[in-house]
């Protein structure tokens, strides 16, 4: 099979933790458990799990841009919001007939990609890097938030869709899949659950292939030493821009799915708090690895939600503490550090070089 | 023979500081040329101008007869230039083998790539450490690894910025042999070097930079015999 589809070989490689039959057996078992899970629990829990899943795309995108590419972007929530609002505006105007919501979702992603390409062009071709990249992307996010927050008046509308200022937009139709005869509404939760799960698995596997490909190698090389990468003849800016756009589209996918799931989107999804949270998810699990990011994100999200029972401010303080502790104790991320530790134990003590 | 690299009236100002002053340097194809000079002579800046990391204030750079002054660094590399930096420019959290693979992957397919990586690993005495993270190699091994990355591009012109910095005498000598082998294979080499034993070992022609200008040029014997050169190293002359 690997001969006919050479990219399958790239599912494992130097840029990803986890390889061999044991890893893929566990991954398969987790997937089966995830498939069976909605049949054994109530609708609320399934819906809640979909909510966790929707954020994971944004985290995986940040993992690519930051963990593999080395550019810390605070712009993920800007793309999230842009895509969410686009989905809302399109579906409120054109309704949900004949699977149009799916087209609206794709259109939102295209819109996000175009915006990210323009922003990324100025960032990377203007040679903005390091902390300045973070500052510019955060500024863009906050400009979006401020702008949307002041659109409360009736004059702010696109077609029939009122932007509604700080209260945000609501009432957009849920996702539907076009099907023979009539469209299948992915609502309530079980249909949407499988749809999002499939997208998540595809995104995860696709990114694994990407980071282990030649493109991924160069991206990691740029993270390690951009000057050296350029002096090997690589146009560093192009690689960074492509990674940035892919990361943005994944954040956009989160935004679109989130809006379709909750049927609302507000400017607070682009606030400074919201912009900081993806950094925490990705850093805690381990930004240098996709699997660690995925597990870490879902775990931190679940913990965060459990903590909000005691108050959302309190939960945010814990998130901040978690980030500080991670940076101090395991700067590569808790899961990555743990995986390396297990790997060393299994290989036994190192022979002297 | 034609010149592979030529700078014409090259100047670089940083504010009021005139770091490169009217440098006309010609490198013939197949040369092994050393660039020496006291600290602050403008050697590194000249390198960065040639590589396209700095834009000259005035003047032009010709490579194999073409004006490359407006080209970006990566475009110059693709035309056959390559560089080894002073501080080893390696990918620290990747293995030595991966470092070489990334250097080679854009002009080789997988089968021939592995063979070429193996050849370079042996050439650079890195057999025992090929799977180790580049960041954990000894300083000399890092330097060699980066030389390997630089020559993996099969350059026509190789720029070496202090290739023996921080090396032991044995390592320095081994590096000299590597450089001479490359040159014998037809690679034109321009090296900035402080270590005069290395310069004596390898160089055929030497250019002395001082205060941004070409101060003296000649064979290694001529330069060593030049009292003015000795004087600027000792800090007696000012122009």
DSSP codes, A158-222: ETTEE--GGG-EE-PPPPEE--SSSPEE--SHHHHHHHHHHHHHHHHHHHHHHHHSHHHHHHHHH
Percent of chain A with pLDDT over 90: 62
Cβ–Cβ below 8 Å for B77 and A224: no
Secondary structure of residue A1 in the 3-state scheme: coil
Mean pLDDT of A116-145: 94
pTM: 0.91
The reply to whether B109 touches chain A by the CB within 8 Å rule is no
Write down the residue that tokens 């990566």 correspond to.
Answer: B74
Q: What is the pLDDT of residues B76-91, one digit of tens each?
A: 999 999 999 888 889 9
DSSP codes, chain B: --EEEEEEEEEEEETTEEEEEEE--EEETT-EEEEE-STTSSHHHHHHHHHTSS--SEEEEEETTEE-TT--HHHHHHTTEEEE-SS----TTSBHHHHHHHHHTTT--HHHHHHHHHHHHHHTT-GGGTTSBGGGS-HHHHHHHHHHHHHHT--SEEEEESTTTT--HHHHHHHHHHHHHHHHTT-EEEEE---HHHHHHH-SEEEEEETTEEEEEEEHHHHHH-HHHHHHHHT----
Whether the per-residue pLDDT at B157 is higher than 70: the answer is yes
pLDDT band for position B237 (cuts 50, 70, 90): very low
- Scored b (16 or more CB within 10 A) or e, A29-45 reads eeeeebeeebeeeeeee
What's residue B238's pLDDT?
A: 47
What's residue A119's pLDDT?
A: 96
A18 vs A292: CA distance, rounded Å:
10
A318 vs A313: CA distance, rounded Å:
9
The residues, ordered by sequence, that sit 6+ positions from A71 with a Cβ below 8 Å of its Cβ are A65, A129, A133, A240, A243, A244
Q: Mean pLDDT over all residues of chain A?
A: 89
Cβ–Cβ below 8 Å for A14 and B82: no
Mean pLDDT of A171-187: 75
In DSSP terms, B32 is beta-bridged to B189
Mean pLDDT of A293-313: 90
What's residue A352's pLDDT?
A: 45
Contact residues, chain A to chain B, C-beta under 8 Å: 14, 214, 217-218, 220-221, 224-225, 227-236, 353
Burial class of residue A239 in the structure, from the number of CB atoms within 10 Å of its CB (0-12 exposed, 13-18 middle, 19+ buried): buried
A309 vs A318: CA distance, rounded Å:
13
Whether the per-residue pLDDT at B177 is higher than 80: the answer is yes
Residue A68 · residue A242 · CB < 8 Å: no
More confident residue, B107 or A116: A116
Q: Which residue of A has its CA nearest to B95?
A: A14
The residues, ordered by sequence, that sit 6+ positions from B195 with a Cβ below 8 Å of its Cβ are B164, B172
The reply to whether B102 touches chain A by the CB within 8 Å rule is yes
Burial class of residue B35 in the structure, from the number of CB atoms within 10 Å of its CB (0-12 exposed, 13-18 middle, 19+ buried): buried
- CA A236 to chain B, closest CA, distance in angstroms equals 8
A135 vs B120: CA distance, rounded Å:
42
Q: Is the ipTM of this complex over 0.85?
A: yes
From the list A91, A92, A101, the residue with the least C-alpha distance to A185 is: A101
Query: Residue A99 has which token pair?
Result: 């699977």
What's residue A349's pLDDT?
A: 57
Write down the residue that tokens 């002096």 correspond to.
Answer: A231
DSSP label at residue A265: E
Chain B hits for A221, CB-CB cut-off 8 Å, are: 91, 94, 102
Fold of B1-80+156-239: Rossmann fold (3.40.50)
Secondary structure of residue A57 in the 3-state scheme: helix
Torsion-angle region of residue B186: left (phi > 0), alpha (psi -120 to 50) or beta? left
Whether the per-residue pLDDT at B105 is higher than 90: the answer is no
Q: Which residue of A has its CA nearest to B78?
A: A233
Q: Which H or E element spans position A90?
A: helix A76-94
Q: Choosing among B89, B136, B160, which should be mutated to test the A contact, i.e. which has the most A CBs within 10 A?
A: B89
Between the CA of residue B164 and those of A140, B126, B172, what are the distances in Å? 46, 17, 5
Q: Which H or E element spans position A278?
A: helix A272-285
Q: Mean pLDDT over all residues of chain B?
A: 88
From the list B100, B113, B94, B110, the residue with the least C-alpha distance to A14 is: B94
Q: What is the pLDDT of residues A21-71, one digit of tens each?
A: 899 999 999 999 999 998 888 888 898 999 999 999 999 999 999 999 999
Terminal-residue alpha carbon distance, chain A = 37
So where are chain B's domains?
1-80+156-239, 84-154
- Angle in degrees, CA A169, A172, A174, rounded to 5: 140
B207 vs B192: CA distance, rounded Å:
10
Q: What is the pLDDT of residues A197-245, one digit of tens each?
A: 999 999 999 999 999 998 999 999 999 999 999 999 999 999 999 999 9
B220 vs B203: CA distance, rounded Å:
7
More confident residue, B146 or B196: B146
Least CB–CB distance from B74: residue in A214, A220, A230: A230
Whether the per-residue pLDDT at B239 is higher than 60: the answer is no
pLDDT band for position A353 (cuts 50, 70, 90): very low
Q: What is the pLDDT of residues B5-58, one digit of tens each?
A: 999 999 999 888 888 889 999 999 999 999 998 888 888 899 999 999 999 999
Cβ–Cβ below 8 Å for A224 and B85: no
Q: Which residue of A has its CA nearest to B79?
A: A233
More confident residue, B238 or A140: A140
Residue A271 · residue A145 · CB < 8 Å: yes
Cβ–Cβ below 8 Å for B74 and A225: no
pLDDT band for position B235 (cuts 50, 70, 90): low
Q: Which H or E element spans position A249?
A: helix A236-262
A203 vs B93: CA distance, rounded Å:
25
Query: Residue A298 has which token pair?
Result: 């879902």
Cβ–Cβ below 8 Å for A225 and B83: no
pLDDT band for position B124 (cuts 50, 70, 90): confident
The reply to whether B106 touches chain A by the CB within 8 Å rule is yes
Query: Residue A145 has which token pair?
Result: 């938030």
pLDDT band for position A249 (cuts 50, 70, 90): very high
The reply to whether B153 touches chain A by the CB within 8 Å rule is yes
Between the CA of residue B51 and those of A19, A227, A250, B47, B74, what are the distances in Å? 40, 11, 37, 6, 9
Query: Residue B50 has which token pair?
Result: 């040639």
Whether the per-residue pLDDT at B220 is higher than 90: the answer is no
Q: Choosing among B94, B107, B111, which should be mutated to test the A contact, i.e. which has the most A CBs within 10 A?
A: B94
């Amino acid at each position: 099979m690997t001969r006919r589809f050479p990219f399958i070989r790239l599912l494992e490689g130097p840029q990803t933790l986890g390889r061999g039959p044991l890893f893929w057996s566990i991954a398969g078992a987790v997937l089966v458990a995830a498939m069976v899970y909605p049949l054994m629990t109530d609708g609320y829990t399934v819906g809640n799990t979909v909510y966790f899943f929707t954020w994971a795309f944004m985290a995986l995108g940040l993992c690519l841009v930051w963990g593999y590419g080395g550019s810390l972007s605070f712009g993920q929530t800007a793309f999230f919001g842009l895509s969410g609002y686009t989905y809302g505006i399109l579906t409120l105007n054109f309704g949900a007939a004949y699977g149009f919501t799916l087209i609206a979702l794709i259109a939102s992603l295209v819109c996000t990609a175009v915006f990210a390409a323009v922003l990324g062009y100025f960032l990377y071709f203007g040679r903005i890097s390091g902390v300045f990249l973070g500052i510019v992307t955060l500024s863009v996010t906050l400009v979006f938030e401020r702008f949307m927050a002041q659109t409360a008046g009736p004059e702010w509308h696109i077609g029939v869709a009122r932007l509604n200022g700080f209260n945000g937009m609501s009432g957009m139709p849920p996702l539907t899949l076009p099907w023979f005869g009539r469209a299948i509404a992915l609502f309530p939760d079980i249909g949407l659950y499988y749809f999002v799960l499939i997208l998540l698995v595809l995104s995860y596997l696709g990114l694994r292939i990407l980071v282990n490909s030649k493109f991924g190698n160069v991206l990691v090389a740029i993270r390690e030493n951009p000057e050296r990468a350029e002096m090997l003849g690589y146009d560093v800016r192009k690689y960074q821009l492509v990674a940035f756009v892919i990361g943005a589209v994944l954040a956009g996918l989160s935004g679109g799915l989130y809006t379709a799931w909750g049927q609302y989107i507000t400017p607070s999804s682009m606030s400074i708090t919201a912009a900081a949270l993806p950094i925490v998810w990705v850093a805690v699990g381990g930004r240098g690895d996709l699997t660690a990011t995925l597990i870490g994100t879902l775990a931190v999200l679940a913990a965060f939600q459990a903590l909000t029972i005691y108050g959302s401010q309190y939960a945010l303080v814990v998130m901040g503490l978690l980030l500080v502790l991670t940076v101090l104790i395991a700067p590569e991320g808790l899961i990555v550090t743990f995986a390396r530790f297990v790997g060393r134990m299994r290989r036994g003590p190192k022979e002297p070089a | 023979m034609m010149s592979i690299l030529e700078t014409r009236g090259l100047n670089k100002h940083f504010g009021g500081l005139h770091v490169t002053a009217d440098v006309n340097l010609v490198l013939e194809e197949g040369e092994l040329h050393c660039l020496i000079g006291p600290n602050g002579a403008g050697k590194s800046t000249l390198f960065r101008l040639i590589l396209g990391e700095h834009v000259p204030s005035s003047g032009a750079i010709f490579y194999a007869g073409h004006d490359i002054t407006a080209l970006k660094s990566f475009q110059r590399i693709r035309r056959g230039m390559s560089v080894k930096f002073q501080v080893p420019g390696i990918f620290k959290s990747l293995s030595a083998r991966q470092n070489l693979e990334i250097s080679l992957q854009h002009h080789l397919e997988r089968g021939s790539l592995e063979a070429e990586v193996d050849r370079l690993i042996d050439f650079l005495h890195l057999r025992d450490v090929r799977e180790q993270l580049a960041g954990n190699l000894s300083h000399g091994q890092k330097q060699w690894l980066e030389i390997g990355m630089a020559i993996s591009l099969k350059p026509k012109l190789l720029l070496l910025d202090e290739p023996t910095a921080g090396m032991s005498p044995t390592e320095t000598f081994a590096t000299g042999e590597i450089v001479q082998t490359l040159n014998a294979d037809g690679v034109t080499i321009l090296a900035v070097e402080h270590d005069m034993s290395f310069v004596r070992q390898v160089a055929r022609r030497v250019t002395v930079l001082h205060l941004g200008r070409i101060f003296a040029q000649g064979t290694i014997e001529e330069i060593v015999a030049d009292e003015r050169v000795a004087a600027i190293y000792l800090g007696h002359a000012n122009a």
